[in-house]
Amino acid sequence: MTIFDRLGSFFGRERRYDGSAAISCDDAVRRVQEFLDGELEDVSPEEVRAHFDACQRCYPHLRFEESFREAVRRAAGRETAPPELRERLLRLISEARSDG
């Protein structure tokens, strides 16, 4: 992280050398799950990806989350939830939508 990045973090969003806004380390790490899920709202995936690609401090957080997700996928294999659980979850989701 450069001195300009550190100074920028005191003011919320950082600035890149070209003057465009960049997300802070805190924002990048806090949004890693949303980024991996493709569910970012007020920031673009490109902006988050650019931060992880450039920041040596934050990149390990991204790699850890990606590796953890892959390990969970491998461990789960082809196991699926019991049909009763699926039915219950769908019912709860339906109820939550009608309450909201």
CA distances from 34 to 12, 24, 29, 78 (A): 20, 15, 10, 25
Domain ranges within the chain, ordered by starting residue: 3-99
> Tell me, what DSSP letter sits at residue 56?
T
pLDDT in tens, 10-66: 444 454 544 445 899 999 999 999 999 999 998 999 999 999 999 999 999 999 999
pLDDT(1) > 60 = no
pLDDT at 93: 93
pLDDT(79) > 60 = yes
